[in-house]
Amino acid sequence: MSDQKFPKRLTEGYESFLGGRFGGERQRFEELADRGQNPEILLIGCCDSRVSPELIFDARPGEMFVLRNVANLVPPYKPNDDYHGTSAAIEFAVMGLKVKHIVVMGHAQCGGVKAYTELQHDPYMRPLAPGDFIGGWIKLLAPAAEKLGSPSEPRANWSERLALQSIKESLKNLRSFPYIKTLEDRGWLTLHGAYFGVASGELLALEDPDGEFLQISKQAHIDALGKEPRF
């Protein structure tokens, strides 16, 4: 048995939480424990440690049901005997919690998207990590890459375009879930795409799957930077 103690950073963070947010929102935590959760938003994001949805959207406890995986991907509906963690979480949020919105949020400089991009240029390069699962998972980016075509620009630029296109592909895959398509057609569920700039703090939003990503809250972003942003 390891003699490692619980990470000091987590202990310190927990103590800060007890002395701050927990004290200020203790009643809300008690209510959530008593009546359960009732979030209206399912947010599907990347597990990248730099992109915390609760932090970006200043969410209170119980406001968002957050699902995170490598490169914020949604597989197509494919029921079988395999393990489907992402699909199971989506099913629970939609059918169990009855969320009203699903947001697929990608981000700049995504490691999973970059790895897929590099593998397209050099199939013999080392994988993102040794193991059996990541390579198979990021193959979900293939349909988005096919729609972009061969890159005619620097790899980094093509990779960012792939990240945006993959959000549209994930929205398409969400609509392959029969219950999601039905609820959306009835106006009971709305699907959204979003993209976060890690360094800039810029947030782009897509609501039309065939449209463009447009910056939201532009003035608030400018005010936060204290000057016109340079992109």
21-56 pLDDT, tens per residue? Answer: 888 889 999 989 999 899 999 999 999 999 999 999
Within 10 angstroms of residue 84's Cβ, the number of other Cβ atoms is: 15
Give the per-residue pLDDT at 231. 44
Q: Which homologous superfamily is 38-225 in?
A: Carbonic anhydrase (3.40.1050.10)
- Position 108: which residue type? A
94-152 pLDDT, tens per residue? Answer: 999 999 999 999 999 999 999 888 877 765 555 555 567 888 899 999 999 999 988 77
Nearest to 51 by CA among 32, 21, 71, 65: 71
Q: For residues 12 and 161, what is the distance between their CA atoms, to the nearest angstrom?
A: 39
145-204 pLDDT, tens per residue? Answer: 999 988 778 888 999 999 999 999 999 999 999 999 999 999 999 999 999 999 889 999
Look up residue 3 and give its two tokens: 């003699």
Give the per-residue pLDDT at 130. 59
Within 10 angstroms of residue 10's Cβ, the number of other Cβ atoms is: 9
Query: Which residue spans within the chain are E strands per DSSP?
Result: 41-46, 64-69, 101-107, 190-196, 203-206, 214-215
Per the listing, tokens 């310190």 go with 12
Task: Output the CA–CA distances (angstroms, integers) from residue 116 to 126, 136, 144, 169, 204, in the order listed.
Answer: 11, 10, 11, 15, 23
H or E segment at 148?
helix 142-148
Per-residue pLDDT band at 226 (split at 50, 70, 90): confident
Three-state SS for 128?
coil
In the chain, list all ranges with CATH 3.40.1050.10: 38-225
Q: Report residue 168: phi and psi, to 5°.
A: -60, -40
